Amino acid sequence: MSGFTFVDLFCGAGGFSLGFIETGFTCVLAADHDQYAVRTYQLNLGNHVHCFNITNQTDLPYADVVIGGPPCQGFSSAGLRRLHDQRNSLIRVFANLVANIKPKAFVFENVEGFLTIDNGSLLLDLLDPLIEAGYRVHVRKVNAANYGVPQNRKRIIVIGGFGWDPTFPLPTHQAFGAPGAANACRHLPLCPTLADALADLPPPALIPPGEPQGYVVRELSPLDQQRITLLQPGQSMKDLPVSLWHESYRRRAFRRVRDGMPSERRGGAPFGLRRLRLDQPASTITSGALTEFVHPVEHRFLTLRECARIQSFPDHFVFVGSNHSCILQIANAVPSLLSKIVASTLWQDLQAGRHLQTISSGALLSFVPTVASGMSPVLQRVDMLVRNRYLQSHRVQEQLSLWP
């Protein structure tokens, strides 16, 4: 092995690892509990991946960098938020493993809801052990579109250096096509569109496996065909006659005023179906994309391969398992292009010897929870909690003002 090494915890299908491997890092271990995701990873990236429960591990190998994105479904905005979901405890598992291994750096990725669930308690679960261990940390919400991914996908990226100040990767593009997406990076070129992502694909196959793999259309029911035919680019189920709504959509559309459930336990506003637009980045790819995202021109749903392209997976990357398993692997992945930009910035820091600094104390270097002009009440509380707990200077305000 040459260069720098990394360990990928909760590796899934390997989107996060792919960006690091393409940069030049060598993976000494990748691990996940999902056997199909592990088989996908192994087929595409190598035999250093293993299927096991990470919570039972205490003797993981040393590497220069530890990366990971613990499962997010417990607090994803795509569904009901489950505060006591067992998966939420994996945040502290990740933090404790990093604190024990003490790599030169770590990178953590998760959904934007990670910041606000239980008024920021999961964020503290991550930061407390790491800062106490001596890590100097950036916490920022980013949009993958700002890094050239053809998709508006807001995620939390946390980067820490053990006794040194890592560089947070600079955006490469301006995002657009979603509320607030253009608030940052106005001086940069526009991010790629869905048309760019789907360019040069031939007509899709009608039977598996398709070429490239997963480029297969599924047969529509007469009712879905009727719904899809009526949708114009940019429209969703709310634009259809009520008689054509899914029953599940009907329940979700009205539940906010009928059932009295606290708003912090809800997912985002439902779409049911949405026809995407060629001239904009795609919406966030989720596990429901195969039955909710309609092709911008053709009267059909997106295919697995189109979803993979939107997530910046190369066409030669093959997924193992059922359609349901494969779309979960794709939707849960860190876009490999975003990963590569993060990895390249970290590689440059390590090559330059920035990790040889000797700063004895851990610290929160920056906290950028949003680039919007305002914050929700719960995000305001989290912001105040973080400032009072970790920040002893005005540096965070400088970071906030410089980010856009």
Q: Give the Cα separation of 282 and 331 in Å (integer).
A: 13
Helix axes 336-351, 15-23, angle to 10 degrees: 40
DSSP category for residue 218: P
Copy the structure tokens of residue 27. Answer: 């993976």
List of residues 6+ apart from 141 with CB closer than 8 A: 112, 115, 154, 155, 156, 157, 368, 369, 370, 371
Q: Which of 11, 27, 72, 307 is catalytic?
A: 72
Q: Give the Cα separation of 360 and 362 in Å (integer).
A: 7
3-state helix, strand, coil in the chain (%, to 5): 40, 15, 45
Q: Give the Cα separation of 305 and 198 in Å (integer).
A: 9
208: left (phi over 0), alpha (psi -120 to 50) or beta: beta
Residue 243 Cα distances to 219, 233, 236, 270, angstroms: 22, 20, 14, 17
Four-residue CA torsion sign, 233, 238, 242, 243: positive
Residue 31 has a CB neighbour count (10 Å cut-off) of 21
Backbone angles phi, psi at 371, to 5 degrees: -110, 5
| Residue 72 falls in the annotated catalytic set | yes
Q: Where are the beta strands (DSSP E) in 5-83?
A: 5-9, 26-32, 49-51, 65-68
Copy the structure tokens of residue 303. Answer: 């295919």
Counting Cβ atoms within 10 Å, is residue 360 exposed (0-12), middle (13-18) or buried (19+)? exposed
**Spatial contact of 97 and 91, defined as CB atoms under 8 Å apart:** no
Catalytic residues: 72
